[in-house]
């Protein structure tokens, strides 16, 4: 029997939803911990029973999403770009971008579920069927480059085809004659917080945001007054050489968290790194200091990368224009979500800059990153930070398990983010102790308002 086009379409559209009449009724959160860091998760509820999943950036605050609730209630979540433009003014760099970005992801999830299509399809279709993943690798405590090499070698044996490690000046703190700084400052760092110059190796906790810790933690690279001696540079270079001796030269190796040192010292170190074929060196100075990036990139032949703290695609453009970066690394949950990442991908094509995607969050953010990476013409890899967390994959139901096979994730066809449900029992087991409760009512945010017009 011949079917009409209308009959074909209606068979393929989720009939429990009438997308044009879909309306947001509620937004609630649950604060998960240890996946791999603090992950504030979002649910957007609708008048048709569909629920969209979102997530704020790692170590962000759910408040950044909840303050948007009153601006979204009653709106059709399928109008993703329209709603994004309304809430865009409430995002900002780093974790501040988390609310707008997390909501954007949840809106796409709802639109996909309502119309029955995966996120990558709504972004224009896919360029690949599987997405390469790279695995961040840490070695706990005092160790050598050889030890790091062995840890990375294990990743290669697990099938990963792209590697990243941390290498920072904190390993020099107890080595005499390797660092100099204003008298007493290195002792301050050791006393108040070893994490202050290399905080990302661990999870950020509230204590780092208080008192003297906060003061030290927030001194930017150029203002610490820390310099690396030739002996210190020898040690850092020796570490990289030992790593390469173990893992060989055939596989890309990126480096993060050099530490808060002056850019002149960065340049001295990066020149030494040229012969080790480094994929990129990340965040060597605050991202908004465009002229620093320009100077470093033009002073050495190592690819320079930044971007995980940059809000909106347009904010990347000065760095791309001046040739300050060879690789950008947006986090979907800071940049503003999937569509901003797609826009950045287009910008990268124009300037001839590569993209990798930063991701240190739960399977919700991960699936958003995988779908978006599938829809980008060029992408090196998506980051994965949770390989040593055995329960991470089980947080989302309906996705591949194991999700990562031979260093890749297969791009799924299921609607939205392709997550059928969250594992509520598992989330309950790992709720952040400082933020108990799951998906509790958020009525106190229903009447939040201001004059949102940005001009007079």
309 counts as binding Mg ion under rule CB under 5 A: no
In this complex, which beta carbon is closest to Mg ion, that of residue 208 or of residue 427? 208
In this complex, which beta carbon is closest to Mg ion, that of residue 256 or of residue 340? 256
Burial readout 354-367 (b: 16 or more C-beta within 10 A, e: otherwise): bbbbbbbbbbbbbb
Hey, is 267 helix, strand or coil? helix
Hey, is 177 helix, strand or coil? coil
Strand-strand pairing, 227-228 and 179-180:
antiparallel
- Minimum separation from the CB atom of position 6 to Mg ion (A): 50
In this complex, which beta carbon is closest to Mg ion, that of residue 58 or of residue 265? 58
**Are 19 and 416 in contact, with CB atoms under 8 Å apart?**
no
In this complex, which beta carbon is closest to Mg ion, that of residue 26 or of residue 282? 282
- Minimum separation from the CB atom of position 437 to Mg ion (A): 31
Region from 164-172, 254-262, 291-299, 441-449 binding Mg ion, contact rule CB under 5 A: 254-262
- Minimum separation from the CB atom of position 418 to Mg ion (A): 26
- Minimum separation from the CB atom of position 391 to Mg ion (A): 24
Place of tokens 């994730």: 409
- Minimum separation from the CB atom of position 57 to Mg ion (A): 12
Region from 6-14, 48-56, 174-182, 248-256 binding Mg ion, contact rule CB under 5 A: 248-256
Q: Give the footprint of Mg ion on residues 325-354 (CB under 5 A).
A: none
Burial (CB count within 10 angstroms: exposed 0-12, middle 13-18, buried 19+), residue 99: buried
Give me 241's structure tokens: 């050489």
In this complex, which beta carbon is closest to Mg ion, that of residue 357 or of residue 422? 357
**Which element (helix H / strand E) includes 290?**
helix 290-297
Q: Under the phi-then-psi rule, with left for phi > 0, alpha for psi from -120 to 50, and beta for the rest, what region is 188?
A: alpha
**Measured between alpha carbons, how far is 201 from 162 in angstroms, rounded to an integer?**
19
In the shown chain, the binding pattern of residues 272 to 291 toward Mg ion, with x for contact by CB under 5 A and - for none, equals ----------x---------
Query: Cβ-closest residue to Mg ion?
Result: 256
Strand-strand pairing, 304-306 and 163-166:
unpaired
- Minimum separation from the CB atom of position 69 to Mg ion (A): 30
Q: Under the phi-then-psi rule, with left for phi > 0, alpha for psi from -120 to 50, and beta for the rest, what region is 277?
A: left
Instruction: From residue 112, give the alpha-carbon distance in Å to each of 126, 401, 425.
Output: 15, 22, 25
Of these, 166, 256, 309, 383, which contacts Mg ion (CB under 5 A)? 256
- Minimum separation from the CB atom of position 55 to Mg ion (A): 18
In this complex, which beta carbon is closest to Mg ion, that of residue 46 or of residue 285? 285
In this complex, which beta carbon is closest to Mg ion, that of residue 31 or of residue 198? 198
List interacting residues with Mg ion (CB under 5 A): 256, 282
């Amino acid at each position: 029997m011949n079917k009409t086009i209308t009959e074909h379409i209606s068979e393929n559209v989720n009939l429990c939803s009438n997308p044009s009449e879909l309306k947001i009724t509620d937004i609630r959160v649950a604060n998960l911990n240890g996946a791999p860091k603090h992950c504030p998760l979002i649910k957007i509820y609708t008048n048709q029973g569909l629920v969209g999943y979102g997530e704020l950036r790692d170590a962000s605050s759910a408040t950044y999403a909840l303050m948007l609730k009153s601006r979204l209630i009653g709106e059709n979540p399928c109008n993703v770009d329209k709603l994004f433009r309304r809430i865009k003014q409430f995002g900002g760099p780093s974790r501040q971008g988390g609310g707008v970005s997390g909501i954007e992801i949840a809106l796409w999830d709802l639109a996909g579920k309502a119309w029955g299509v995966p996120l990558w399809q709504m972004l224009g279709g896919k360029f690949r069927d599987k997405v390469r993943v790279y695995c961040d690798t840490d070695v706990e405590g005092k160790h050598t480059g050889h030890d790091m090499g062995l840890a990375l070698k294990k990743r290669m044996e697990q099938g990963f085809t792209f590697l990243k490690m941390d290498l920072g000046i904190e390993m020099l703190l107890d080595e005499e004659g390797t660092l100099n700084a204003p008298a007493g400052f290195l002792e301050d760092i050791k006393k108040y917080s070893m994490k202050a110059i290399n905080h990302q190796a661990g999870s950020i906790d509230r204590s780092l945001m208080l008192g003297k810790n906060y003061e030290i933690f927030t001194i930017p690279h150029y203002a610490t007054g820390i310099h690396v001696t030739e002996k210190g540079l020898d040690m850092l270079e020796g570490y990289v050489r030992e790593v390469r001796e173990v893992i060989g030269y055939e596989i890309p190796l990126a480096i993060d968290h050099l530490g808060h040192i002056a850019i002149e010292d960065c340049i001295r170190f990066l020149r030494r790194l040229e012969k080790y074929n480094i994929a990129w060196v990340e965040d060597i100075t605050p991202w908004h200091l465009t002229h620093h990036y320009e100077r470093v990139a033009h002073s050495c032949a190592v690819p320079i990368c930044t971007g995980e703290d940059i809000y909106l695609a347009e904010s990347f453009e000065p760095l791309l224009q001046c040739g300050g970066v060879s690789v950008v690394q947006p986090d979907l949950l800071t940049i503003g979500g999937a569509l901003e990442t797609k826009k950045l991908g287009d910008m990268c094509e124009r300037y001839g800059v590569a993209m990798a995607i930063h991701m240190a969050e739960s399977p919700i953010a991960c699936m958003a990153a995988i779908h978006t990476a599938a829809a980008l013409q060029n992408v090196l890899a998506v980051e994965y930070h949770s390989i040593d967390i055995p329960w991470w994959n089980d947080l989302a139901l309906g996705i591949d398990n194991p999700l990562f096979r031979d260093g890749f994730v297969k791009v799924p066809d299921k609607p939205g983010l392709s997550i059928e449900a969250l594992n509520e029992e598992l989330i309950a087991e790992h709720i952040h102790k400082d933020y108990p409760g799951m998906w509790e009512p958020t009525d106190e945010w229903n009447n939040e308002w201001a004059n949102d017009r940005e001009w007079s």
